[in-house]
Chains A and B, each alone.
Chain A
């Protein structure tokens, strides 16, 4: 069974800093990987989806990379803002129709 780990569990940075969130998974045979954002008490908002054949995806200040061979993905956030404060979740799909989630990284951006 796929195990997904996100380290650190919590991160606090000053506004304007660039930061990297990490996601690791145990089985490199994945179909795709998706990054989400979750605000307290809310549902998940999709940020980026990376297909298994891709190495990275970009959306605005966000860049996600995927290295299947090492079982790792990173989410890079440039020029962080207080509005970026949320929990960021990584999810891996081995088949395309089931996702395994990490426990998330809680990000606080200090003004």
Chain B
């Protein structure tokens, strides 16, 4: 089955530690995205990548970093510089160069930092 996997489902870290969230897709999509979801707020874009070895900042990139070394993978690192890292993180992918850009989402990772 084609889809997007995110691991782990739940992640707990101490304040001051960096943590990396995994996102893998086997949909052969060129574009991948990271969003953050907080209670009472809509999803906010952190980073996106439309091609391997290239990525752009979204609206809330501060305190986060990404890499795109493979088409299938787009890991997100939450650094100690992120002031409020506790949130639900969602990864998505889509085709590019088409007329739709329909986004497909993974199951999410809930990060708790104490």
The 0/1 profile, CB within 8 Å of A marked 1, for residues 42-53 of chain B is: 111100101000
Query: Which residue from chain B places its CB closest to the CB of A36 in the assembled complex?
Result: B105
Task: Give residues of chain A (95-109) contacting chain B, Cβ–Cβ below 8 Å.
Answer: 96-104
User: Contacts A49-B102, A93-B101; is A103 near B41 (CB within 8 Å)?
Assistant: yes
How many B residues have CB within 8 A of the partner chain?
A: 28
A75 within 8 A of B: no
Closest CB-CB distance, A24 to chain B, in whole Å?
Answer: 13
The 0/1 profile, CB within 8 Å of B marked 1, for residues 54-67 of chain A is: 00000000000000
User: Contacts A51-B99, A97-B48; is A43 near B42 (CB within 8 Å)?
Assistant: no
A46 within 8 A of B: yes
Give the size category of A's interface with B. 20 to 34
B31 within 8 A of A: yes
Q: In the assembled complex, which residues on chain B have CB atoms less than 8 Å from the CB atom of A45? A: 105
Report whether B100 and A43 are in contact in the complex, using a CB–CB cutoff of 8 Å: no
Q: In the assembled complex, which residues on chain B have CB atoms less than 8 Å from the CB atom of A36? A: 105
Bound complex: CA of A84 vs CA of B95, how far in Å? 28
Report whether B100 and A49 are in contact in the complex, using a CB–CB cutoff of 8 Å: yes
B103 within 8 A of A: yes
Residues of B within 8 A of A (CB): 4, 6, 31, 35, 40-45, 48, 50, 58, 90, 92, 94, 96, 99-108, 110
The 10 closest A-B pairs by CB, nearest first: A101-B42, A44-B105, A101-B43, A43-B105, A96-B101, A43-B107, A49-B102, A103-B42, A43-B108, A43-B106
- A selection of 17 A-B contacts at a CB cut-off of 8 Å is A4-B42, A31-B101, A34-B102, A36-B105, A41-B110, A42-B107, A43-B105, A43-B106, A46-B104, A51-B99, A89-B42, A89-B43, A97-B101, A101-B35, A101-B43, A101-B44, A104-B42
